[in-house]
Amino acid sequence: MNEDRALAKKLKSFFHEEPSAFRESPIYSELSEISERYTNLEQIDSGGMKSIKRAFDLSTSRNVAFAELRNPQDEKLYEVFLREARLTALLEHPNIISIHDVGLNDEGQPYFTMDLKEGDSLSDIFKKLSSADESYLKSYSLHELLMIFVKICEAVAFAHSKNVIHLDLKPDNIQVGDFGEVLVCDWGLGKILNNTDKEGVYETLLDVDLLNHISSNNKVVGTPGFMSPEQIEKAREPDKRSDIYSLGGILFSILTYKRPLEGEIEYMLKCTVRGILKDPQDLVDYTLPNSLVAVVKRAMALKPEERYSSVLELRSDVQKYLSGYSTAAEDSNLYKEFKLFIKRNKAASLITLIALIFITCLSFFFIDALKEEISETKKASKRAEVAAEQFKNERNKANNLLDELTETFLQEAQLASETFVYQYPSESLKSTLSKSEKILETIPDHPIARERYILSLFIMQRFDKLLESPYKNPSPLLVELAKKYEPLINKKTNKLDILNLSQLFDDISGNVENDFSICERMLAYASEKSKYTASFGFAVKSLIKILNPEWDGEGYEYSNNRNKLELKSPQIKYLKGPDNKSSGQSVLRFMRIDRLNLRGSAIDDLSQLQSIKIESLDIRDTPIDQLENLYKLKKLSELIVYEEQFRGGQLANLPRSIRARVFDKEKE
């Protein structure tokens, strides 16, 4: 009724004659009269520290969800409450609930507004399904629930790309709309990981240490049954794989409509830390897909390192099941693969079988019919032609489906290879090359497959095969470079010598798109079976030149006997590429370095040295004035600095394992 009055008032403003200039601006006039933006507050939910109400926003003329503290007088909860709003607002994704407004009311108490959630929570859906509600059983098949799960994974993967973890993923926090909307809600326990090198919104809008400290002080760690073991044990720090464990719990509930654990809280916590989980198949009286059960068990493995390495990898396994392929989590055999092939190609397989049976029958019929009359032979031949035409049509449909699946596969393969190629270059490149070749055999003009095929050959230094390729090359410059360096390939190693590889890097620099990314992958591939050779210093020097184009090459000196590297040029500022176009690791990791001298360089962040193992570091005359990233240098035992370089007692707080050698700049 209140909404009807508001609408009537709104319509009246369009037609009511006013004596002022606002006569032709009814909306402007209405906004100018608003004294209280949110009206018609109606309680719809309550839990934890929040109270959620339905409210009508007079400024936008729509209903929103209005969140405020259940106990608004408890000022200790203000920062925690506002933290959830600020953190959620940073995650702009179609499957993450949107924050519209954050503010304080007239009494100075915080509130925020967000999307008004319509529909059911995933937990409500499971309750309806377990009670055999016919409308829900019809609307939410296993396939539909898995499509919802894929959207949940995409939302969490997006948050992980921003280094934000949820830590309270469960069916209650997933909202499913009537029109296919899926929203991941309640980011109150979310945490921003400290090991990020990204700058921008996080530093501007959020203090990571402060926000994570708030979560810790309030001792909010998750929901028993869905929370990971490391959220319970203080000795281990939760990370992205903790969310993967919770996603495995959601998939467990999708299969069984039940929680992974039931009982007293203390019992569930003990079972979690000991890895005691029931097999999903034991909880239902119908047969579950073994491949999905395997996915659940891998995602909910007790040890984080035994789980999926990323949410995208988990999502990919579920999508493989939906597409009719075997998952990486199961131990698939040839028989299983054959059954899945038949299942994926039901129409074509059925038509083929029918055609074979039909042709066989016709053969016997022809032998008998030829003895009786020629006319019967012509009729049978006509029927065979009709069957062949039907088979041809079905095959064309199957080919169209292959095109769609190929496009999806290549897009996912490209996302995975951006990180996998730096860790396991040979395996990653060979896999990409093999799958691209198979696609090009069927679709020679496929642009993405051609690009992945040519680039993989170039990175692997297989210039001869690249030049012989029948496929149109998307990068003419790569062909020219292949022609130039193919005669220089070492016949014993089938690779360029390191000096020639360094020269190739110089030719690529500034002339090829994503030049640093290509060169870094080539060096990763070249060094996979021969790490830390002395000659790699030449190639590393070329990579540093790409990162620092103003550098003249001076101030670089590497001693192989002493494992010592000096980078003493004020033109050197960067030692790693951009996170979104490279591995995000220091280029120095390809060399064996015990002592590193950066004196006089422009390097201003110790995080650029991550992943290299050095024992001694000289950072005199550098812009470095903060030591918070020093912990990333695990083997560091000696730090050489100037006395006046650091303030606030940073040197006094160094770990005991690191000895600081402090010099007086004026006395040198």
Q: Radius of gyration of the chain from Cα atoms?
A: 32
Output phi, psi for 505, to 5 deg: -60, -40
Q: What DSSP element (H or E) covers 88? A: helix 78-90
- Residue with token string 């184009």: 549
| Positive or negative torsion for Cα 111, 114, 120, 122 | negative
414-461 per-position pLDDT tens digit: 544 455 556 778 888 888 888 888 888 888 888 888 888 888 899 899
pLDDT for 56: 92
pLDDT for 420: 55
* Mean pLDDT, residues 181-194: 88
130-159 per-position pLDDT tens digit: 999 999 999 999 999 999 999 999 999 999
- Name residues whose C-beta falls within 8 Å of residue 275's C-beta, 6 or more positions apart in sequence: 229, 301, 302
**Single-letter code of the amino acid located at 472:** K
β-sheet bridge partners, residue 565 = 558, 596
Q: How far apart are CA 330 and CA 234, in angstroms?
A: 32
Q: How far apart are CA 397 and CA 405, in angstroms?
A: 13
Q: Are 287 and 224 in contact (CB under 8 A)?
A: no
pLDDT for 667: 77
3-class secondary structure for 194-214?
CCCCCCCHHHHHCCHHHHHHH
Output phi, psi for 307, to 5 deg: -85, 180
pLDDT for 197: 40
Of the pLDDT bands very low, low, confident and very high (cuts 50, 70, 90), residue 409 is low
- Percentage above 90 pLDDT, the chain: 37
DSSP state of 96: B
pLDDT of 278 strictly over 80: yes
Of the pLDDT bands very low, low, confident and very high (cuts 50, 70, 90), residue 326 is confident
- Residue with token string 């110790």: 606
- Percentage above 70 pLDDT, the chain: 77
299-313 per-position pLDDT tens digit: 999 999 999 999 999
DSSP state of 586: -
What is the SS3 assignment for 293?
A: helix
Residues in the chain: 668
What is the SS3 assignment for 595?
A: strand
Tokens for 582?
């490279």
103-119 per-position pLDDT tens digit: 998 888 999 999 887 88
Output phi, psi for 227, to 5 deg: -75, 150
Return the minimum-mean-pLDDT range out of 226-240, 320-334, 597-611. Answer: 320-334
Q: How far apart are CA 293 and CA 306, in angstroms?
A: 16
- Best CA proximity match to 561, nearest among 595, 589, 588: 595
- Best CA proximity match to 651, nearest among 623, 627, 633: 627
Strand order of the β-sheet with 564-567 is 556-559, 564-567, 595-597, 616-618, 638-642, 659-663
- Best CA proximity match to 625, nearest among 646, 640, 608: 646
β-sheet bridge partners, residue 121 = 175
Would strands 564-567 and 182-184 be described as parallel, antiparallel, or unpaired?
A: unpaired
**Single-letter code of the amino acid located at 12:** K
pLDDT for 201: 34
pLDDT of 362 strictly over 90: no
pLDDT for 1: 46
Q: How far apart are CA 640 and CA 507, in angstroms?
A: 37
Angle between helical axes of 311-322 and 374-423 (0-180°, round to 10) = 170
pLDDT for 142: 94
500-545 per-position pLDDT tens digit: 999 999 998 888 888 898 999 998 888 886 755 667 889 999 999 9
How confident is the prediction for the chain on average, in pLDDT?
Answer: 81
Q: How far apart are CA 284 and CA 268, in angstroms?
A: 20
β-sheet bridge partners, residue 215 = none
Q: Are 125 and 140 in contact (CB under 8 A)?
A: yes
Of the pLDDT bands very low, low, confident and very high (cuts 50, 70, 90), residue 210 is very low
3-class secondary structure for 333-402?
CHHHHHHHHHHHCHHHHHHHHHHHHHHHHHHHHHHHHHHHCHHHHHHHHHHHHHHHHHHHHHHHHHHHHH
Q: How far apart are CA 92 and CA 485, in angstroms?
A: 46
Its pTM stands at 0.48
DSSP state letters, 400-430:
HHHHHHHHHHHHHHHHHHHHHHHHSHHHHHH
β-sheet bridge partners, residue 642 = 663
Greater pLDDT, 427 or 169: 169
**Single-letter code of the amino acid located at 623:** P
Q: Are 272 and 261 in contact (CB under 8 A)?
A: yes
Question: Contacts for 12-16 with beta carbons within 8 Å, 24 or more apart?
Answer: none
* Mean pLDDT, residues 30-47: 79
Greater pLDDT, 33 or 661: 661
- Give the CA distances from residue 51 to residues 18, 65, 269, 382, in Å, rounded to whole numbers and listed in that order: 41, 10, 28, 74
Q: How far apart are CA 560 and CA 147, in angstroms?
A: 55
